[in-house]
A = this chain, B = another copy of it.
Amino acid sequence: MATIYEVSKLAGVSLATVSRVINSNAPVREATRKKVEAAMAELGYRPNSVAQSLASSRSNSIGILVSELNGPFYGVLLSRIEAEFRAAGKHVIIAAGHSNESLERESIEFLRSRNCDALILHVEAVSDDYLIELSGKGCAFVLINRYVEELADRCITLNNHYGGYLATRHLLELGHRDIAYVSGPMWKHDAQERYNGHREALAEFHINVDPALVFEGDFQETGGEQALAHFLQQNLKFTALVCANDEMASGAITSAHDLKIKIPEQLSVIGFDNVNFAHYIYPKLTTIDYPIGDIGQMAARWVIKNVYQQPNTAIQEVFEPRVVQRDSTHACS
């Protein structure tokens, strides 16, 4: 691979001049530029990005840490982030934290050791304190789907509380009064917030929360299956079911099919996230849209603005969810 030195020799100019035409960060006479460009073309020269990084202390790489690499949710997140950075000539280094504290910490260290210019973090297990300390160390990062007061200016979040509220209100407006709720693991912030939103909606309609109608699931399909089985077993009366994410809604619906419970006629089900398989489910799932792609893009823009200092559109820190009505919910008969 040709180096900048060979290019300068062939073009008959100095190292510095070649560097200038590469980065176009200083005036170069048109004729000189042409000569240099010709030389680069002839040698098939491509700058060595590693050397560039070392000299400029910028790696032009951004570390992304998400819980999982598979799953419909993270897929669109990654996709949008990559597209945004790609357009800016940056590249992304991706790691998975698997919602596990030590793995998340390791991954962050791993990414840092890779000299990323910035990190985009979707972490669930590490503590707020850890993150605050990290930011104290001068590590540039944005937090996705997590709000830490001390780090407010670097949090891009969904209003989960409002989403939970919307889901339940949707059912209430359809006339349902006996509404069961399958939450995610309560140690997860978003699960907590969505649940609180649910309670707020009930309160607004002067309905007491019946603890028997709340089940803590695992955000997986099995959670939905278990929840439905659990509620049915206790002979509880409920005409609608709120699931804190679409996976669990899918599980619940599958179970319902097996039990010959007609959806939505006998039971209305609403999910949360609007992942792309939501409409593969039969009947098509009514859910709360989580604009995760937009959030990812915004996180990327945050980095471009704050780390690469490029003039940029404004940063939107909180995104609002909305109801996507499909076929799995129905007026209470």
Q: Does A94 contact B (CB under 8 A)?
A: yes
* Contact digits for A66-94, partner B, Cβ 8 Å, 1 yes 0 no: 00111110111011001100100001111
Once A54-B51, A54-B54, A257-B282 are accepted as A-B contacts, the answer to whether A70 and B61 lie under 8 Å apart by CB is: no
CB distance from A124 to the nearest CB of B (A): 17
A47 on interface, CB distance cutoff 8 Å: yes
**Which of the 9-residue segments A111-119, A144-152, A301-309 touches chain B?**
A111-119
User: Which residues of A in the span 17-69 have a Cβ within 8 Å of any Cβ on B?
Assistant: 46-51, 53-54, 59, 61, 68-69
Measured between beta carbons, the chain B residues less than 8 angstroms from A46 are 109, 112-113
A277 within 8 A of B: yes
A205 CB within 8 Å of chain B: no
Q: Is A202 an interface residue (CB 8 A)?
A: no
- Report how many copies the assembly holds: 2
For A113, what are the chain B residues with a Cβ–Cβ distance below 8 Å?
46-47, 49
A69 near B59: Cβ-Cβ < 8 Å: no
Q: For residues 307 through 328 of chain A, which have their beta carbon under 8 Å from a beta carbon of chain B?
A: none
A332: interface (CB < 8 Å): no
Inter-chain CA distance A277–B221, complex, in Å, is 11
Known: A75-B69, A115-B50, A281-B282. A91 touches B95 (CB 8 A): yes
Partner of A276, one of B53, B70, B115: B70
| Residues in chain B near residue A111, CB distance under 8 A | 91
Question: Of B54, B75, B115, B280, which is within 8 A of A71 by CB?
Answer: B75
A71 to chain B: which residues have CB within 8 Å? 75
Cβ contact within 8 Å between A114 and B49:
yes
Q: Using an 8 Å CB-CB cutoff, how does the interface string of A107-136 with B read, 1 for contact, 0 for none?
A: 001111111000000000000000000000
**27 A-B contact pairs sorted by A residue (CB < 8 Å):** A46-B109, A46-B112, A46-B113, A47-B113, A48-B115, A49-B114, A50-B50, A50-B53, A50-B54, A61-B93, A69-B75, A69-B76, A69-B82, A70-B79, A70-B276, A72-B72, A78-B94, A82-B95, A82-B96, A91-B95, A91-B110, A91-B114, A92-B93, A93-B93, A250-B280, A254-B282, A277-B277
Q: Which residues of A contact B (CB under 8 A)?
A: 46-51, 53-54, 59, 61, 68-72, 74-76, 78-79, 82-83, 86, 91-96, 109-115, 250, 254, 257, 276-277, 279-282
